[in-house]
Amino acid sequence: MTRMWLSLIAATAFMAQAAQAASLTVGYLRIDAPMPPTLSNLDPVPEDDGLAGARTGLDDNLTTGKFLGHDYALIEDRVPEGGDAVAAARAMLAETPYLILDAPDDTLLAIADLDAAQGALLFNAASGALALRDDECRATLFHTAPSDAMRTDALAQVFVKKRWTDLVMIAGTHPQDIAYAEAMRRSLKKFGLKLEAEKTWAFDADMRRNAAQEVPLFTQDFGDYDALILADELHDFGRYVLYNTWEPRPVAGSEGLSPVGWSPVIEQWGASQLHSRFGKAHARAMTAKDYAAWAAMRTLGEAVTRTGADDPATLRAYILSDDFELAGFKGRPLTYRAWNGQLRQPVAVVHPRALVAQAPLEGFLHRTNELDTLGLDRPESACGAFE
């Protein structure tokens, strides 16, 4: 009986502590960057891409917070091309130490290096650049967007599982394409595969009219192969390659069979509920960038719920601890890698109409966490800022 009363008293004390008025204001900062023109605007980028995800995460936090006396708010800013991104970040940091960032890589680093950002919690919800998780990491910068390497590792696991070992690749010339192609080469090597051939897509012709003539000739030199990989992260030319290759073979990568952080075709593990809430609020489908921003907002909400605190030091320590878990509608609890701040998460491999697989695939083992078969594992990462 005494033990029961002690347990009850302890639980009551915990709830009283949690019910203290923890209050968190989160900033969402988007930095517009110039984008080269693409052949098609069939899939326009939503004006609120990413921001809508943060707003949905805010609503989810408020739903939980009202039972515990916790309050959340979101402030928003958008810097146009050529604007002073660092000044905007400094102003936002004066209001809150919690920022969700959609920004180019160099801008992310410039913001993370601000004096005002030391001790803050910044979330990269857009860039998949490997360097940000490696030798250019920052102790204040967490990553809810999957890295390029996580996505290409997922695709490489599918290749191994399907025994597609004779692989070729076409890569675009934009920086994002080059980075994706490099990540793909790294992933293939990691899983014992290699490219038999690769070509660079440097055409400026209008493929909307010429694809049926140009693509077969361009791919004829590849001969026979198991699958064609496309590195076209701007979604410029890749859509015209499908079904126009010299050999009728699967297309994967940036088009066709694609590894993604989120997709409308993910419906298991309660994901349909998230899609429904998001669609009702924003009248469109949730994108991968929306999901990354949602995960950042929910990370903070989960940390506040579990600790009852609203200071960056306490929340950071909890987020990086073994106790932290985020229910992310991906079939497994999501956690953060303590060595570089990357959110561990399964990566869906999809085509536009259905989920094909979710990595890590069965049989790809790891000594501590199978999710660490995707992206930079601790021995591979040169990040020392989190030590």
User: How does pLDDT run across 42-62, given as a tens digit for each residue?
Assistant: 678 899 999 999 999 999 999
Parse the chain into domains and list their residue ranges: 21-146+263-345, 149-260
Percent of the chain with pLDDT over 90: 85
**Distance from C-alpha of 147 to C-alpha of 151, rounded to nearest angstrom:** 7
**Distance from C-alpha of 180 to C-alpha of 175, rounded to nearest angstrom:** 9
**Residue 274 contacts residue 31 (beta carbons within 8 Å):** no
Report the side by side order of strands in the sheet with 71-79: 71-79, 23-31, 98-102, 121-124, 141-143
**Residue 274 contacts residue 331 (beta carbons within 8 Å):** no
Other C-beta atoms closer than 10 Å to the C-beta of 69 total: 15
Q: Average pLDDT of 303-325?
A: 97
> Do 21-146+263-345 and 149-260 come out as alike in CATH topology?
yes
Q: Which residue has the tokens 């669609």?
A: 279
Residue type, 117: A
The string of DSSP codes covering 10-68 is HHHHHHHHHTS--EEEEEEEEE-------S--SSPPPTTTTHHHHHHHHHHHHHHHHHH
Residue 10 has pLDDT above 50, yes or no: no
Which segment, 11-15, 65-69, 84-88, 212-216, is predicted with the most confidence on average? 84-88
Query: Any idea what the Cα angle at residue 289 is, between residues 286 and 292, rounded to 5°?
Result: 100
Other C-beta atoms closer than 10 Å to the C-beta of 104 total: 18
* Residue-wise pLDDT tens digits, 220-233: 999 999 999 999 99
| H-helix segments, 69-174 | 85-93, 105-112, 148-162
Q: Which residues pair with 77 in a beta bridge?
A: 29
**Distance from C-alpha of 387 to C-alpha of 375, rounded to nearest angstrom:** 19
Give the pLDDT of residue 34: 84
Q: Which positions ≥6 away from 213 have C-beta within 8 Å? A: none
Burial class from Cβ neighbours inside 10 Å (0-12, 13-18, 19+) for residue 384 reads: exposed
Provide the mean pLDDT of the chain. Answer: 92
Residue 186 host element (H or E): helix 175-190
Confidence of residue 7 (pLDDT cuts 50, 70, 90): very low
Q: Average pLDDT of 8-20?
A: 46
Q: Which residues pair with 29 in a beta bridge?
A: 77, 101
Q: Average pLDDT of 187-203?
A: 94
Give the pLDDT of residue 38: 62
Q: Which CATH architecture has domain 149-260?
A: 3-Layer(aba) Sandwich (3.40)
Length of the chain equals 387
pTM of the full structure: 0.92
**Residue 118 contacts residue 284 (beta carbons within 8 Å):** no
Confidence of residue 213 (pLDDT cuts 50, 70, 90): confident
* Token pair in block for residue 109: 């680093």
Q: Which of 22-31, 74-83, 198-207 has the lowest mean pLDDT?
A: 198-207
Residue 7 host element (H or E): helix 2-18
Radius of gyration of the chain (CA): 22
**Distance from C-alpha of 281 to C-alpha of 153, rounded to nearest angstrom:** 33
Residue 365 has pLDDT above 60, yes or no: yes
Other C-beta atoms closer than 10 Å to the C-beta of 343 total: 26
Confidence of residue 202 (pLDDT cuts 50, 70, 90): confident
Domain 21-146+263-345: homologous superfamily in CATH: Response regulator (3.40.50.2300)
Q: What is the largest CA-CA distance in the chain?
A: 83
**Distance, first Cα to last Cα, the chain:** 45
| H-helix segments, 191-332 | 207-219, 271-282, 288-307, 312-319
3-class secondary structure, 99: strand
**Distance from C-alpha of 357 to C-alpha of 98, rounded to nearest angstrom:** 34
